[in-house]
């Protein structure tokens, strides 16, 4: 009865990933959840990808998003991949996620629908294949916030609790997040192919990736090199986007880096409050490898691992292949810098390019660091032209900087109003600050009260809206609440 109902949602799931050689996946049914309950559901997202979930009851939704009953055509699988974790190569794979299928949206975009926390797979190693409610809701909030901020990202469709406990340091409520991504092909998927597959396997993965993400390069003279260049560009743009809003991913391992250029795998990620380039939130990142200031360089390091995997496809002559890869990767820093500087210009209301802009931006950042100013709020207050009596804004250094900034604005062709509009579009009024996220999670997990989270999600869906947000949402945490640490493992 419920199965019949599930099929009414126009799933039309496809399964192109299983056209790859079998090395790349294992067919895997999700585990049965004892007593599934849907606790949050993203109806607008479901609709935007063409799912007609309004035809389903709450029970049917809980069943499908817990993996208890899948649409008839679903042929779920777990993907194999490897990756460099904190610099060390390891075999990985979906240890607690299953791909239930791919959905073509009404506009023809292909999306993976994946259940994370849906039980053990052949790639689980020592893990239980499960996930706890808090971290799954956290992924839901941060990924939806990133989408609102305009950063390419996987998105969250639903969270269901399983009715079972998962064992961590204590027993926690078990849950599954359903996430949507343009694919889950990772740099680590290529590393896996290069290490354990044949040249044909590697080529099959590269061809599949090109077909799926970059069909426009198919006819290029060296499509594999073009693939590499495309991913370099996407990652340079993505990481610049992170830096511009103060996002710290926390685990930039190569298995968490997509070829699509979307942010995925929200573990110990968080947004920076006070501007400090050395900020780290992850409890496991003891050496600060993935600190805010290191993210662009780690992007480059990961892309070098990607090149190593792709080398045999670039050219037969391995020395020439290395030179080709180095040449391509040589562009990354320039691309990154271009995206970052152009974004920073916009944050300062500047539309045209001037030589002195880079030093103008850097001086401001240095002042923010010296005076321990909040990253988001500094730009927000500059946008509002409402500098408070904070240490930064009352400092002589800032007054001098502001003079230079005003002077620089005179070179613009835009009117004052247009400059202000540009700043509003590029300086979020709010971000998912850790204390806000924690407050929402606590109410949901401890008291089954989802109202705090729903309200936060609503506000985070329009972070550039300068009109209607209460003060509570943009205030940084009390100094006593810091430092904030997030725990991986989940």
Which residues contribute to the site for ligand AMP (CB under 6 A)?
Answer: 92-96, 124, 127-130, 251, 256, 265, 267, 488
Residue 254 vs 377, nearer CB to Mg ion: 254
Q: How far is CA 465 from the centre of its chain?
A: 22
The full DSSP string for 191-256 is HHHHHHS-HHHHHHHHHHHHHHH-GGGTTSSSHHHHHHHHHHHHHHHHHHHHHHHTEE-S---GGG
Residue 256 vs 260, nearer CB to Mg ion: 256
Give the H/E segment covering residue 359.
Answer: helix 357-370
Residues in CB range of 167: below 8 A, 6 or more apart: 128
Question: What is the rounded CA–CA span in Å between residue 326 and residue 336?
Answer: 16
95 contact choice in ligand AMP, Mg ion, none (CB below 5 to 8 Å, kind-dependent) = ligand AMP
Question: Cβ of residue 74: shortest distance to Mg ion, in angstroms?
Answer: 23
Residue 427 binds Mg ion (CB under 5 A): no
Question: Cβ of residue 264: shortest distance to ligand AMP, in angstroms?
Answer: 8
Count of C-beta atoms within a 10 Å radius of residue 415? 9
Residue among 336, 327, 308, 332 at smallest CA distance from 188: 308
277 contact choice in ligand AMP, Mg ion, none (CB below 5 to 8 Å, kind-dependent) = none
Residue 256 binds Mg ion (CB under 5 A): yes
251 contact choice in ligand AMP, Mg ion, none (CB below 5 to 8 Å, kind-dependent) = ligand AMP
* Piece of 101-109, 171-179, 253-261, 461-469 that binds Mg ion (CB under 5 A): 253-261
122 contact choice in Mg ion, ligand AMP, none (CB below 5 to 8 Å, kind-dependent) = none
Residue 139 binds Mg ion (CB under 5 A): no
Question: Cβ of residue 178: shortest distance to ligand AMP, in angstroms?
Answer: 16
* Piece of 22-30, 46-54, 230-238, 257-265 that binds Mg ion (CB under 5 A): 257-265
Question: Cβ of residue 255: shortest distance to Mg ion, in angstroms?
Answer: 5
Question: Cβ of residue 157: shortest distance to Mg ion, in angstroms?
Answer: 18
276 contact choice in ligand AMP, Mg ion, none (CB below 5 to 8 Å, kind-dependent) = none
* Piece of 201-209, 252-260, 400-408, 422-430 that binds Mg ion (CB under 5 A): 252-260
Residue 182 vs 256, nearer CB to Mg ion: 256
| Bridge pairing between strands 247-248 and 37-41 | unpaired
Strand partners, 97: 116
Structure tokens at 341: 């500087």
Residue 226 vs 256, nearer CB to Mg ion: 256
255 as an active site residue: the answer is yes
93 contact choice in ligand AMP, Mg ion, none (CB below 5 to 8 Å, kind-dependent) = ligand AMP
Residue 241 vs 268, nearer CB to ligand AMP: 268
C-alpha torsion sign, points 185, 189, 193, 196: negative
Q: What share of the chain is helix, strand, coil (3-state, %, to 5)?
A: 50, 15, 40
294 contact choice in Mg ion, ligand AMP, none (CB below 5 to 8 Å, kind-dependent) = none
Question: Cβ of residue 78: shortest distance to ligand AMP, in angstroms?
Answer: 9
Strand partners, 41: 158
Give the H/E segment covering residue 35.
Answer: none
Residue 79 vs 434, nearer CB to ligand AMP: 79
Question: Cβ of residue 1: shortest distance to ligand AMP, in angstroms?
Answer: 33
Selecting among 112, 201, 255, 265, the annotated active-site residue is 255
Q: How many CA atoms lie within 13 A of 154 on its CB side?
A: 27
Question: What is the rounded CA–CA span in Å between residue 223 and residue 225?
Answer: 5
331 contact choice in Mg ion, ligand AMP, none (CB below 5 to 8 Å, kind-dependent) = none
| Cα–Cα distances in angstroms (integers) from residue 113 to residues 93, 102, 181, 226, 349, in the given order | 16, 6, 7, 28, 39
Residue 271 vs 290, nearer CB to ligand AMP: 290
| Cα–Cα distances in angstroms (integers) from residue 293 to residues 147, 249, 296, in the given order | 22, 12, 7
Q: How far is CA 385 from the centre of its chain?
A: 31
Residues in CB range of 396: below 8 A, 6 or more apart: none
Q: Which residues in 263-282 contact Mg ion (CB under 5 A)?
A: 265
Residue 295 vs 427, nearer CB to ligand AMP: 295
Question: Cβ of residue 243: shortest distance to Mg ion, in angstroms?
Answer: 21
Q: How many CA atoms lie within 13 A of 144 on its CB side?
A: 30
Binding site for Mg ion (CB under 5 A): 256, 265
Any idea which residues carry the catalytic annotation? Answer: 255
């Amino acid at each position: 009865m419920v199965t019949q109902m599930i099929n009414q949602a126009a799933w039309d799931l496809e399964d192109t990933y299983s056209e790859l050689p079998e090395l790349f996946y294992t067919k895997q049914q999700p585990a049965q959840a004892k007593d599934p309950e849907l606790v949050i559901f993203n109806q607008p997202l479901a609709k935007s990808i063409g799912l007609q979930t309004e035809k389903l009851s709450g029970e049917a939704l809980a069943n499908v998003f817990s993996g208890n009953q899948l649409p008839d055509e679903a042929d779920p699988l777990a993907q194999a991949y490897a990756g460099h974790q904190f610099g060390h190569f390891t075999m990985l794979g979906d240890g607690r996620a299953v791909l239930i299928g791919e959905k073509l949206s009404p506009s023809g975009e292909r999306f993976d629908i994946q259940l994370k926390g849906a039980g053990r797979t052949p790639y689980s190693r020592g893990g239980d294949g499960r996930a706890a409610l808090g971290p799954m809701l956290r992924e839901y909030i941060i990924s939806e916030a990133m989408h609102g901020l305009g950063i390419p990202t996987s998105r969250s469709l639903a969270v269901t609790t399983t009715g079972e406990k998962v064992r961590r340091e204590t027993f926690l409520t078990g849950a599954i997040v359903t996430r949507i991504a343009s694919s889950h092909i990772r740099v680590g998927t290529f590393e896996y192919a290069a290490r354990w597959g044949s040249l044909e396997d590697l080529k099959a993965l590269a061809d599949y990736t090109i077909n799926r993400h970059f069909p426009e390069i198919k006819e290029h003279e060296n499509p594999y090199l073009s693939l590499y260049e495309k991913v370099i560009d996407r990652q340079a743009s993505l990481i610049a986007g992170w830096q511009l809003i103060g996002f710290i991913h926390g685990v930039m391992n190569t298995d968490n880096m997509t070829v699509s250029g979307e942010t995925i795998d929200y573990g110990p990620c968080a947004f920076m409050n006070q501007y400090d380039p050395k900020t780290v939130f992850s409890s496991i990142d003891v050496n600060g490898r993935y600190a805010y200031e290191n993210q662009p360089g780690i992007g480059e390091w990961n892309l070098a691992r990607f090149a190593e995997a792709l080398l045999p496809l670039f050219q037969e002559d391995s020395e020439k292949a290395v030179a080709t890869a180095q040449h391509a990767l040589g562009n990354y820093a320039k691309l990154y810098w271009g995206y970052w500087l152009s974004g920073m210009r916009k944050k300062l209301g500047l539309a045209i390019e001037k030589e002195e802009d880079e030093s103008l931006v850097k001086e401001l950042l240095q002042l923010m660091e010296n005076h321990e100013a909040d990253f988001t709020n500094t730009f927000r207050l500059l946008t509002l032209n409402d500098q408070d009596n904070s240490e930064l804004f009352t400092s002589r250094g800032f007054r001098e900087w502001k003079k230079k900034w005003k002077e620089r604005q005179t070179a613009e062709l835009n009117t004052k109003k247009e400059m202000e509009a540009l700043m509003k579009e590029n300086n979020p009024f709010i971000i998912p600050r850790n204390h806000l996220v924690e407050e929402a999670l606590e109410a949901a997990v401890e008291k089954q009260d989802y109202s705090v989270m729903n309200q936060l999600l609503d506000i985070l869906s329009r972070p550039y809206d300068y009109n209607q947000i209460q003060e509570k949402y943009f205030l940084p945490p009390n100094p006593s609440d810091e430092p904030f640490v997030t725990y991986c493992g989940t």
